[in-house]
Amino acid sequence: MTAGSSRAGNRLIPTAETVDSYRTSEYTRVMEDPLWTDAHAPDIEDLPQEDLRTYLGRATEGPINLVLHGPPGSGKTAAVRALAREIHDDPDNDLIEINVADFFDMTKKEIAEDPRFAGFITPKRRRNSSKAALINHVVTETASYSPVSGSYKTLLLDNAEAIREDFQQALRRTMERYHGATQFVIATRQPTKLIPAIRSRCFPIPVRAPARDEIVSVLEEIADAEGVASDRTGLEFVASHADGNLRTAILDAQTVAEEAGEITREAAYETLREVGPDDRIESMIEDALSGAFTDARSELDDLLVDDGYAGEEVLREILRVSRSRGLVDDAELTELAGEIDLDLVTGTNDRLHVSHLLAELGAE
């Protein structure tokens, strides 16, 4: 493992990995030391998924546009940063990261006044341009810059499921125009949201959720590097609790280490039981079951907006908490969750689809 740089470099917008490191769950606020997700950023050979290492190894041979797709916390952004350190002499400047979701969550006024983008947008352009046009202008200007070192740079568009189709059409033209100087990498949990013209110009790389043993191996290396005492059962508990989300597992392990000074099963159980969202998830389910839909949806909003959970993550937590505490008939909930999961993959509004699940629980 190599230590990740704390320097912003050319990161125009905080990426999902950085934001989620602070927002994924309540307990991250207690951490005093640098986040382990940053301090132990992996190189390509350190990535836990063997197939991902193989795919990225082939991508080091020259500039090629990529689409990395996989569930939240599977390591998409970390993999792109590892690739950039491998192919660029100056990755801090020749890897530019843009969180697309951050763009589209902002108003046109906020985009134009944000100091990260102000240099790209004149008052006249702001008055005469739509929000999509402003966003496209920032991306186009960024792609047009010459690399600091080497023959090309890498532009990462993270959380790309938020890209609207009109912007994608403009992006396609930008990719064609600057393909010689810029390698475009799109990271998304929903590749079906990309138009065929974008997908056809990119090599797809699936990023599966790491298996429990793979996550345990990563945690063992980090614990050893940090000098934190740990045992196998403790690390396995942390890995299982994260349910395939590597980012969450690393942050959970750091929380346990800082709270208990070690990562054992007992320490992990006591710490994660206190700081996890289980009680809030249970309260949300019980509100839905009792017909208090407004209260259930208010808690859902807190999870999605304040804590930064994705819709799939909330759905997975609902299933896990309900099963462990016997809140809803498992067969009925599994069938309903399957329908909602499909809606989350093909739809555009996580709040709408998970709210539908809560409403159906109340109707039952």
The pLDDT, as a whole number, for residue 313 is 84
Q: Does some domain include residue 303? A: yes
- The radius of gyration of the chain from alpha carbons, rounded to an integer in Å, stands at 21
Q: How far is CA 201 from CA 100, 137, 158, 262, 316, in A?
A: 19, 21, 17, 47, 33
Identify whether residues 199 and 62 lie together within a single domain: yes
Nearest to 314 by CA among 53, 44, 72, 7: 72
Task: Please give the Cα distance from 47 to 81 (Å, whole number).
Answer: 11
User: Residue 136: which CATH number?
Assistant: 3.40.50.300
| Residues 327-353 pLDDT 10s | 888 888 888 888 898 888 777 688 888
Q: What average pLDDT does the structure give for the chain?
A: 84
pTM metric for this prediction: 0.70
User: Residue 261: which CATH number?
Assistant: 1.10.8.60
- Residue 284 token pair: 């949300």
Does 252 score more than 50 pLDDT? yes
Percent of the chain with pLDDT over 70: 89
Number of domains in the chain: 3
* Contact by Cβ (8 Å): 76, 190: no
Secondary structure of 230-266 in HEC code, one letter for each residue? ECHHHHHHHHHHHCCCHHHHHHHHHHHHHHHCEECHH
Q: Does some domain include residue 14? A: no
Decide which of 253, 275, 297 is a domain's last residue.
275
**Any idea what DSSP says for residue 98?**
E
* Contact by Cβ (8 Å): 99, 15: yes
Identify whether residues 144 and 286 lie together within a single domain: no
Identify whether residues 194 and 316 lie together within a single domain: no
Identify whether residues 50 and 193 lie together within a single domain: yes
| Residues 58-111 pLDDT 10s | 888 878 999 999 988 899 999 999 999 999 999 999 999 888 877 777 787 887
Domain that holds residue 201: 42-206
Judged by average pLDDT, the poorest of 257-266, 267-276, 289-298 is 267-276
Task: Please give the Cα distance from 201 to 220 (Å, whole number).
Answer: 38
Identify whether residues 171 and 61 lie together within a single domain: yes
The pLDDT, as a whole number, for residue 274 is 64
Band of residue 117 on the pLDDT scale cut at 50, 70, 90 = confident
